[in-house]
Structure 1
Amino acid sequence: MPGPLFIILNAGSGHAETELQRTTIEDVLSAAGRPFELAVVDQAGELGGIARRMAGQARASDGVLVAAGGDGTINTVARAAVESGCQFGVLPQGTFNYFGRTHQIPEDLAGAVQALLQARVEPVQVGLVNERVFLVNASIGLYPRLLEEREIDKKQYGRSRLVALLSALKTVLGAYRHLHITVELNGKTRTLRTSTLFVGNNRLQMEQVGIGPLAERIEDGKLAALAPQPVGKLGMLALLLRGALGRLGDAPNLHAFGLTSMTVRQRGLAGRRRIKVAIDGEVTHLQAPLVFRVLEGQLMLLKPVPAATAPEQEPLALAS
């Protein structure tokens, strides 16, 4: 018998939608006869503790820890899976779902549960910043502020990619300060002045904005770093437009490079030792300096079996 599934569902979407998600998961798994335990998390502050508890259960029973939610929820649960060494599954329910889409996991919930039942285990690359896991990206500067403003706008106008885009435009056109940072990379130190430092660990996201060469190096032991040179508001709008059109790699005022390990210090902190960092869509504060690196040992992810190799299903018998 396959091991049990320990599923954590983030209830941030609202009661009615969460109830529909819960019943969908239960119906598909019950029909398949797969043992499972489902925990619905109402309070964001409880997510980490519940994830660690269920990760321990998954490890002890040769089961699978499963995250149902957006990239932030997936990050928290994946961190528990990495720490415990258990297998990990994903039911993507966010706005962008970069992690799930990268690994061909259906965004339709019932389809994702079905795919989980026939998945195979494959290792995937994990990034770290100060020992905090990130699956998609981690950043400092303007990007964390953009995410904070986006969450405020989503609560008022709803969750959609259009709202996210308009919110980003509003933030870029507002007032912000440039970062003055030192970067230690490959034994050399360089100084950068930039609006944001963005470190990516997701091939799909890099491909979509047009950073093809770096996208190919992700998942092959490398992370991708982007840091635009100081430009005015029109220059930032131009960068945003290039990214939306998938042509960011053509920008003349963009530092882009690959890395396996990098130490970042922010100059002019005036005694402050904590830096605001966005990790997979969630904003937190980490102790300076920031150390970005690729995790030694990877996340064991359940990925859908390609259609050509999926086991054939027996035809359903017609009712007499």
Structure 2
Amino acid sequence: MRLKVIVNAWGGSVGGEDVTARLAEEFAAHGILASVTEVQGEALEDAVRAALAEDWDGIVAGGGDGTLGTVARLMAGSGKPFGVLPLGTRNHFCRDLGVPLEEKGAVAVIAAHHLLRIDLAEVNGRVFLNNSTVGLYPEMVRERERQQKHGWRKMPAMLLASVRTLARFTRHRLAVSAEGWGERLMTPLVFVGNNMYETTLPRAGRRPRLDRGELCLCITRHSSRWAILRMLLRAVLGRLKEEREFEMRAVCEAEIRSSRRYLRVSMDGEITMMRTPLRYRTLPKALTVFAPLPQKEAE
């Protein structure tokens, strides 16, 4: 098997050594010829497009969820297998896919060559892998990026950004509709996930399936920062279903309208301004991935 491996040096922690040589050796131990390229920032998309134009048996990406989301967007519908290396901070997608969170285990999953077709989702034609959010979260990410430019590290910057965003606490007047249901509301946050998320322990915040062809539409009606903090605490404790002002629906399509011409939207942690209305839809089985063997087969 011949693989193109692209590592985004800005997408997460890649260790303090020659990552290209290390990964090439790990793949070679499984009899795989891996051409490993380390890129930074905007060069990522160019590297993926070049790899798609070449005759590789698969493309592997190493980095955080933003990096994996970018590569998945470019590979959507190509039919070429996508492998993931958990080199980010939280590695949400790797966890949901069941990929081990250490390099050797992730390489072994790719070497086993078990393929799975999973869903993607899109908003106004822009594809995402994990989730998309309108409201407080995009504001937090924008504030975090501002603090990072001033020298703060990512996690402390996010903590400071969260405090500042909650202190301002803005709500949006939106019209949200999905499959025969609709409501006009003032909301601080609308979340759209690619497949349903768990809200109870021990798997709170995780997706049990990535191939059900549905969106997870979550709406909160909280009217104060204290109510939002209460909701976040219940989310951490895996008791989000007890929150009265929080609603979750499984849908295939959804639309968000606003009196504003543009809204700030997050997709897999990346922020962009998008023209309204925002039209979301699922893209069933649009991406082929190297995935762990199902538990029964593995046994």
Structure 1: gaps (5+ residues): 312-320
Do the aligned residues in 2 keep the contact of 1:206 with 1:215 (CA within 8 Å)? no
State the shift of 1:15 in Å. Answer: 9.6
Cα pair distance change 1:168/1:231, threshold 3 Å: farther
Aligned to 1:232: 224
- The answer on 1:294 being equivalent to 2:282 is yes
Using the alignment, how far apart are the partners of 1:56 and 1:257 within structure 2?
A: 39
Q: CA RMSD in A?
A: 2.9
Q: Is 2:77–2:286's contact at 8 Å kept on the other side of the alignment? A: no
Aligned to 2:100: 106
Q: Are 1:275 and 2:263 an aligned pair?
A: yes
**Residue 153 (structure 2) aligned to one of 131, 135, 158:** 158
Q: Secondary structure at the match of 2:89?
A: coil
Number of aligned residues: 298
Aligned mates of 1:164, 1:246 — CA distance in 2: 25
- Are the aligned partners of 1:210 and 1:249 in contact in 2 as well (CA < 8 Å)? no
Counterpart amino acid of 2:180?
G
CA 1:208–1:83 in structure 2 vs 1: closer, same or farther (change >3 Å)? farther
Q: For 2:8, which of 3, 7, 10 is the aligned residue? A: 10
Structure 1 position 199 matched with structure 2 position 212: no
Counterpart of 2:66 in structure 1 is 72
Say whether residues 1:124 and 2:118 are aligned partners.
yes
1:173 CA displacement = 3.2
CA shift at 1:276, angstroms?
1.2
Q: 1:52 aligns with which of 27, 49, 60?
A: 49
Equivalent position of 1:264 in the other structure: 256
1:46-92 Cα offsets, whole Å, 9 max, x none, are 212221221232xx44x111110000000011112114231111001
Distance in 2 separating the partners of 1:13 and 1:217: 25
Kindly state the Cα deviation for residue 142 of structure 1 after the two structures are TM-superposed. 0.7
Amino acid aligned to 2:234: R
| 2:238 counterpart (241, 246, 249) | 246
Q: Could you tell me whether the CA contact under 8 Å between 1:10 and 1:41 is conserved in 2?
A: yes
The one-letter code of the counterpart of 1:107 is L
Counterpart-to-counterpart distance in 1, 2:280 and 2:220: 18
Matched, 1:27 2:19: no
3-state SS of paired residue (2:29): helix
Q: Tell me, what secondary structure is at the counterpart of 1:125?
A: strand
- Alignment of 1:179 onto 2:172: yes
Decide whether aligned partners of structure 1 residues 219 and 192 sit closer, same or farther in structure 2, where only a CA change above 3 A counts: farther
Whole-Å Cα distance in 2 between the matches of residues 256 and 307 of structure 1?
29
Q: Deviations over 1:162-202 (max 9, x none)?
A: x4773464145320321111123113432121001111125
Q: Give the structure 2 partner of residue 315 of structure 1.
A: none
1-side partners of 2:298 and 2:208: how far apart?
A: 27
**Which structure carries more helix by proportion?**
1
TM-score with structure 1 length normalisation? 0.82
Based on CA coordinates, which of the two structures has the bigger radius of gyration? 1
Deviation of residue 137 (structure 1)? Answer: 0.7
Whether 1:135 and 2:129 are equivalent positions in the alignment is yes
Q: Which has the higher strand share?
A: 2
Q: Which of these residues, 184, 188, 213, is aligned with residue 221 of structure 1?
A: 213
Unpaired runs of at least 5, structure 2: none
Summarize the Cα distance change of 1:206–1:129 in structure 2 as closer, same or farther, 3 Å threshold: farther
